[in-house]
Amino acid sequence: MRETLRMQSVQSPIIPVVGELIRSNPGTISLGQGVAYYGPPARAIEYIERFAADPENHKYKLVQGIPELLEVIEQKLKTENRISLKGSRIVVTAGANMGFVNAVLAITDPGDEIILNLPYYFNHEMAVVIADCKAVCVPSDDDYQLQPERIAAAITGRTRAVVTISPNNPTGAVYSKSDLRKVNEICRSSGIYHINDEAYEYFTYDGARHFSPGSIEGGAEHTISLFSLSKAYGFASWRIGWMVIPEHLFEPIRKIQDTILICPPVVSQWAAVGAMQAGRDYCSDKLKMTAEVRQLVLKELETIRDLVTVPRADGAFYFMLRVHADTEPMELVKQLIEQHKVAVIPGMTFGIEDGCCLRVAYGALQKSTATEGIGRLVKGLKQILRN
Ligand SMILES: Cc1ncc(COP(=O)(O)O)c(C=O)c1O
C-alpha cells in the first residue's frame, strides 16, 4: 500500500521541522511563527452564550454560513473594502486556507495551471499540487513587488488564475492599488480568475494602504477575495474566514464545502459575529504594539546592513531578509537555533531557490521577547557570517 504519486509530490512543510529543532533546543525564541500575539475580543466569547442558548444551534446549518455572520460581513465589505456584492456573494469558510482550496477545486481541472508570485505562501503551492494542477511561479522584483508584465507573459491556454497576497506572507510587501488593478485587468482580459488573499488587510504601517481588487468596477465575474479572522481577531484556532466569489461559482463551491465541511463550526461563527462587532478598532489597538516591535526589529537589522538586505515591508508582520552569503539557508537556520537560540524560517519554504533568504516573523512577540530575539538573531548572523 502507498500514498498517491500526486501526494508524494506535495512539499512537506518546513515549519514543523523548525518546530522540532526549537523543541530540542529549549529556550529558543521563535521569530518563525506567523500568528498574532493576542487572542479574541471579550465580545467574541460573550457570543458563545448566544450560541449555547439555542438548542437548534447543535444541528447542521447552511453551507455558506449563518445569516447573522453573513450580514455583519456584508456590512464590513461595503464600508471598509468597497466591495458591493453586485454579481458576487459571500461564503464563510473554516479559514482563508479553506477558501483557497475551495477556489482551486472549483476553477481547475487536473493539469491546469495557477500562477503564484514568488516567494509564495507555501499552503497555496501545496493546494495547487493537491488539486493535481501546476503552480507556475513568477518572480517578484527586488522589493518583492508584483511584476504584472511577467505575470501576463506566464499565462498559457491552461492558466486558470493568478494569485496575489497583499499585505504579503512571507515578504510583508503591500502591493499598490495600480499593480493590483493591472493584474486584475490582465485576468479579466485573459478570461481567468484573480484570487486575492487579504488575511492581513488590517496590518499596514507607515501610511501604506490596503486595496481590495474585489472593489474594482466590473470585476465581480472574475475576482475571488479571501479573508480571515485568524490574524485580525486572534482567531487562528477558531477557524473562521470567508471568500467573496462570483455568483456563478457558488454551485461548485457549495458542493465542495458541503462535502468537506458541511458547515463552518457554528460556535465559531457566533464568536465571529461578536468579534466583528468589536470591529477593526480591536485590531488597530493591538497593532500599536506590533508596529513598535516592527520598528525595533528594523532598527536592529539596520546595524547589519553589510550582512543582510531588508527589502521594504509595510505590511503583515514579516521581513524577508536577503543574506549576503552563499550559505545553505536550512544550515544557517539550524546554526541559529542550536548556537544562538533563535529561530527563523528558510526562504526555500516559500519557493526561493536562488540565494539565502530568511523570513523573520514578529507578530507573535511582546516587546521584551522581541528585543531579546532580534538581538540574538543579529549577534548570531554576525558571528556565523563574519567567521
Ligand atoms: C497569506 C495567508 N493566507 C491564509 C492564511 C491562513 O489563514 P486561516 O487561518 O484563515 O486559514 C495565512 C496564515 O498564515 C496566510 O499567511
Per the confidence metrics, is the pTM higher than 0.85? yes
CB under 8 Å to 203, separation ≥6 — which residues?
Answer: 167, 231, 232, 283, 287, 290, 315, 316, 317, 363
Is 257 touching ligand 1 by the criterion CB < 6 Å?
Answer: no
Cell numbers that stand for 298 in this block: 528594523
**For position 14, what pLDDT does the model report?**
85
Top mutation candidate among 15, 97, 120, 243 for ligand 1, by most atoms within 8 Å of CB = 97
Residue 74 near residue 81 (C-beta atoms within 8 A): no
The three-state secondary structure class of 359 is strand
pLDDT in tens, 182-195: 999 999 999 999 99
Q: Secondary structure of 175-243 in the HEC alphabet?
A: CCHHHHHHHHHHHHHHCCEEEEECCCCCCECCCCCCCCHHHCCCCCCCEEEEEECCCCCCCHHHCCEEE
Atom of ligand 1 nearest to the CA of 121: 1
**Closest residue by CA, ligand 1 atom 16:** 169
Atom of ligand 1 nearest to the CA of 170: 16
* pLDDT band at residue 386 under the 50/70/90 scheme: confident
Is 166 touching ligand 1 by the criterion CB < 6 Å?
Answer: no
CB under 8 Å to 309, separation ≥6 — which residues?
Answer: 321, 322, 324
Residue 268 near residue 98 (C-beta atoms within 8 A): no
CA of 374 from ligand 1 middle (Å) equals 24
Atom of ligand 1 nearest to the CA of 34: 14
340-352 average pLDDT score? 96
Give the DSSP H/E element, type plus range, for residue 340: helix 329-340
* pLDDT band at residue 12 under the 50/70/90 scheme: confident
Is 199 touching ligand 1 by the criterion CB < 6 Å?
Answer: yes
How many other C-beta atoms lie within 10 A of the C-beta of residue 325? Answer: 15
pLDDT in tens, 77-128: 999 999 999 999 999 999 999 999 999 999 999 999 999 999 999 999 999 9
CA of 202 from ligand 1 middle (Å) equals 14
- Residue 12, classified by CB atoms within 10 Å of its CB into exposed (0-12), middle (13-18) or buried (19+), is exposed
Whole-angstrom distance, CA of residue 199 vs CA of residue 229: 7
Average pLDDT over the chain reads 97
* pLDDT band at residue 15 under the 50/70/90 scheme: confident
Residue 376 near residue 29 (C-beta atoms within 8 A): yes
* Percentage of residues in the chain having pLDDT higher than 70: 100
User: If we measure between CA atoms, which residue out of 372, 99, 60, 118 comes closest to residue 245?
Assistant: 99
**Closest residue by CA, ligand 1 atom 1:** 169
CA of 332 from ligand 1 middle (Å) equals 26
Is 230 touching ligand 1 by the criterion CB < 6 Å?
Answer: yes
Whole-angstrom distance, CA of residue 196 vs CA of residue 180: 9
* Percentage of residues in the chain having pLDDT higher than 90: 97
Decide if pLDDT at 21 tops 90. Answer: yes
Is 99 touching ligand 1 by the criterion CB < 6 Å?
Answer: no
Alpha helices in 2-66 (DSSP H): 5-8, 15-23, 42-53
Nearest-Å Rg of the Cα atoms of the chain is 21
Residue 18 near residue 347 (C-beta atoms within 8 A): no
Is 363 touching ligand 1 by the criterion CB < 6 Å?
Answer: no
Decide if pLDDT at 315 tops 90. Answer: yes
**Closest residue by CA, ligand 1 atom 14:** 34
* pLDDT band at residue 332 under the 50/70/90 scheme: very high
Is 96 touching ligand 1 by the criterion CB < 6 Å?
Answer: yes
**Closest residue by CA, ligand 1 atom 13:** 34
Atom of ligand 1 nearest to the CA of 98: 11
